[in-house]
């Protein structure tokens, strides 16, 4: 099975890059399933049902979320009814949505787990204990192909998750910081990258207009972050091959710029 893993898609520029690029790259590279973080697709904060459908029609199969999953108050209940849309599993069980999805490709089952970190995030259940519990439950169902979107602020938390789940899951891809990291590895059958990086504007501050973040850090007075629609853009994705035993075998990182420049990076094999 071949999976494409996309980090935070930020606003209209991110959606535009998905619409322009994803179907062709999905076909060209024979990708079976695309998993993407959707918590920023609608003006940078949350996801509307309209934008989820737009991205589904553009080639994304499964959507994960994070701390902005509930930002669109008029839409999030509808969005989270979709079995292909997840929110972090360590949110309380009584709130809307699900944090684990079981799907299939080529009649082979696989699971996607969405988790959220602890530092600078809403107060939720411990993601590390939650991860172990969920993986154990999936293994009892003979589901060995398991992909984890860990939506977290700190690199240390993400590395802890890798060390904890290494050889237990097929792939762990970090999201949330919007900044891509250069540490794609396959170790003990698990693919890992600390953060895939955003798809959207690349010439400002984490996909947002630079004015408000600069003013906030200069004065201490905050404001509403806005997506700048007129910008230079980038598409970022990791492609991973996973065998029938749920073991990751190869991986590549794709960076595609709006000037058609393409950078493809191979994984580092850690044996």
Q: Do the bridges between strand 146-151 and strand 108-116 make them parallel or antiparallel, or are there none, so unpaired?
A: parallel
How does DSSP assign 217-271, residue by residue? HHHS------B-SSS-EEEEEEEEEE-TTS-EEEEEEEEEETTS-EEEEEPEEE-
Q: Give Cα separations from 50 to 21, 65, 187, 271 (angstroms).
A: 20, 16, 38, 44
Nearest-angstrom CA–CA distance, 11 and 14:
5
43: tokens are: 């003006």
DSSP state of 113: E
* Non-local CB neighbours of 161 within 8 Å, separated by 6+ positions: 115, 127, 128, 131, 148, 150, 152, 172
In the block, residue with structure tokens 């989820």: 52
Backbone region of residue 44 per phi and psi (left: phi > 0; alpha: psi in -120 to 50; beta: other values): left
Among residues 29, 68, 106, 151, the one annotated as catalytic is 68
Asked if 68 is an active-site residue, the reply is yes
Nearest-angstrom CA–CA distance, 92 and 157:
20
The sign of the CA dihedral 37, 42, 46, 50 is: negative
Nearest-angstrom CA–CA distance, 167 and 54:
35
Backbone region of residue 69 per phi and psi (left: phi > 0; alpha: psi in -120 to 50; beta: other values): alpha
Question: Catalytic residue numbers?
Answer: 68
């Amino acid at each position: 099975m071949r999976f494409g893993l996309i980090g935070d898609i930020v606003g209209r520029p991110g959606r535009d890059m998905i619409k322009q690029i994803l179907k062709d790259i999905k076909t060209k590279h024979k990708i079976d399933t695309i998993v993407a973080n959707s918590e920023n697709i609608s003006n940078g904060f949350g996801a509307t049902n309209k934008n989820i459908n737009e991205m589904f029609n553009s080639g994304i199969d499964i959507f994960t979320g994070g701390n902005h999953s509930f930002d669109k108050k008029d839409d999030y209940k509808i969005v989270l009814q979709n079995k292909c849309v997840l929110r972090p599993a360590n949110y309380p069980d009584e709130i809307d949505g699900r944090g684990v999805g079981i799907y299939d490709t080529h009649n082979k089952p696989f699971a996607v787990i969405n988790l959220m970190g602890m530092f600078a995030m809403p107060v939720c259940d411990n993601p590390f204990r939650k991860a172990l519990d969920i993986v154990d439950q999936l293994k009892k169902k003979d589901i060995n192909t398991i992909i984890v979107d860990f939506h977290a602020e700190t690199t240390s938390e993400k590395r802890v998750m890798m060390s904890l789940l290494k050889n237990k899951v097929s792939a762990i891809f970090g999201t949330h910081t919007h900044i891509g990291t250069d540490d794609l590895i396959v170790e003990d059958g698990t693919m890992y990258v600390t953060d895939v990086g955003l798809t959207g504007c690349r010439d400002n501050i984490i996909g947002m207009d630079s004015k408000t973040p600069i003013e906030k850090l200069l004065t201490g007075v905050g404001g509403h972050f806005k997506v700048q629609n007129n910008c230079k853009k980038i598409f970022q994705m990791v492609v991973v091959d996973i065998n029938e035993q749920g073991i990751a075998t190869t991986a590549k990182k794709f960076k595609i710029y709006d000037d058609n420049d393409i950078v493809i990076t191979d994984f580092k094999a850690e044996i």
